[in-house]
Structure 1
Amino acid sequence: MEKYSLNEEALKFFSHFEKSVDDRIVFTNADLVEKFKQSTFHHKDFESYIPTAINKAIWYAVKRNGNWDMKRGVYQKRRESSPNKETIAPEFETKINTPIRNKTTPCFTFNREDYIRHLSKNLFEVLMLKKEIRDDFLRKYHLSAKGVGDDLYFLTESYFRQKGLFRGKHSMSDYITLNAKKAIESGNISKNLIYEHMIPKNIYIKQISEITLAGELTDDFIYNLLIKYYFVCTVTKEEDDKLPSIKMDDDWDGINPFYRYKKAGIEFFPNKKIQF
């Protein structure tokens, strides 16, 4: 029977996998392990190894590959090694990492990990309190997608205000479209712009609510969902109308947060300089 090296197969997988990866997508080790297990590079004899063997092999493959940034279990492909630059508007190609300077969006380096940790820790504390609400009807509302979504928004605003960075709702979005940027510069904001969740928030908030009611919620569980899925884009009303509002199509891979935008042909770019 042919023998396979787990480390070498993991490296082969990663070299093949990264060719189709958008450099704006963030992966956890668990995401990559699952992708590896679904690939042709995974062999059934690997399942007889110790439980952490594949996790370690993936980590080692990422390190050996050299094209990715690795920080606290979160991996992201470096921009200069990405083959998918066509997903970004060409006119912003040379200044994609330059924050927009206008009356609404501040110029600053935004640490996404610190931001998501803030949201996760505080949302966990809030949900633990909500879980103790005695009235079933009231508890159900506060643990609904609407109730938890409101908490998430106000925690987001709280973070920006504490950092002295709040310049209105649309200064908090991770990304922005060209048309939305023009609307902000013209002062035509309230009626024409949408603070749009790039993955409909009910998809991951439902998971958070269910785990809360089951008594199994942790702040790490919240963090792992938000770091993958909690991205917001400022779009125009016309652009928002092109997007399905409450679901992802069946062919979504469960990972790419920009799937709806790419499928709808909506181009966007960072609304702030992000540090992962």
Structure 2
Amino acid sequence: MKVKDMSEFKRLQLIAEAVRYCQRVSAMGMPASAFSKALREPVHFLWERRAGSKAAAAQYRSRSAVGLSFGREELIYDHAVPFVYLQRRLLALDTVDEHSIRVLLQQLNLIVLITKDEDEVLKSAGLNKSMPTDWDGNDPLARYRAMKIELVPNRGAVNGI
């Protein structure tokens, strides 16, 4: 069955199964570096990319990224909240079910298209894989605000994503 033909419930069930697996192996002592891909890939392909393309998955673009496209190495597909934060929250769930997974994905799994230069700005500030030290835990766009990267809604986004 193709992902685009799966119901949201089925996709969330599969992600929940990946979370339970990662919780089990983590509890057994496996380091996160050895199992994180087992969670990152289902989230990416079953949730983020459920509409198909990366451009359709992104809710926002930086103002500088408007009009740019993939294929010329102009755009960076960026998680507004670095994946490690979502991973920690998913692995900390006491009740792993479709509802709790959906809530965290909707809260922390926001995709933004930025330019290569803007990605370098985040990297130079130490914000490519972390949130600002004063992050309130709620604003998923805090890294861009901190670096004055202006975001606009992505016209190419698929509704409901």
Q: Is the 8 A contact 1:130 1:142 kept in 2?
A: no
Equivalent position to 1:229, from 102, 108, 121 = 108
Distance 2:113 2:148 in 1: 15
Structure 1 residues 262 and 172: CA distance shift in structure 2, 3 A? same
**What is the letter of the counterpart of residue 180 of structure 1?**
A
Pairing 1:208–2:109 present = no
Q: Is the 8 A contact 1:194 1:236 kept in 2?
A: yes
Aligned-residue Cα RMSD (Å) equals 3.0
Distance 2:61 2:137 in 1: 22
Structure 1 residues 141 and 270: CA distance shift in structure 2, 3 A? same
What is the TM-score normalised by the length of structure 2?
0.72
SS at match of 1:183: coil
* CA-CA distance at 1:147 after TM superposition: 3.2
Rg larger in structure:
1
Pairing 1:126–2:8 present = no
Distance 2:21 2:38 in 1: 13
Equivalent position to 1:269, from 149, 152, 159 = 152
Equivalent position to 2:78, from 191, 196, 199 = 196
Count how many residue pairs are aligned between Structure 1 and Structure 2: 147
Gaps of 5+ in 2: 1-6
**What is the letter of the counterpart of residue 117 of structure 2?**
E
What is the TM-score normalised by the length of structure 1?
0.45
SS at match of 2:112: strand
Identity %: 23
Q: Is the 8 A contact 1:261 1:267 kept in 2?
A: yes
Question: In structure 2, what is the equivalent of residue 98 of structure 1?
Answer: none
| Mapping 1:1-276, distance limit 5 Å | 119-129=11-21, 143-144=35-36, 146-156=37-47, 159-160=50-51, 166=52, 168-184=53-69, 189-211=71-93, 216-243=95-122, 244-271=127-154, 272=157, 274=159
* CA-CA distance at 1:273 after TM superposition: 6.2
Structure 1 residues 125 and 202: CA distance shift in structure 2, 3 A? same
**What is the letter of the counterpart of residue 224 of structure 1?**
V
1:181-235 deviation digits (Å, cap 9, x = unpaired): 3222xxx634221110111121121121244xxx642332222211211110011
* CA-CA distance at 1:180 after TM superposition: 2.0
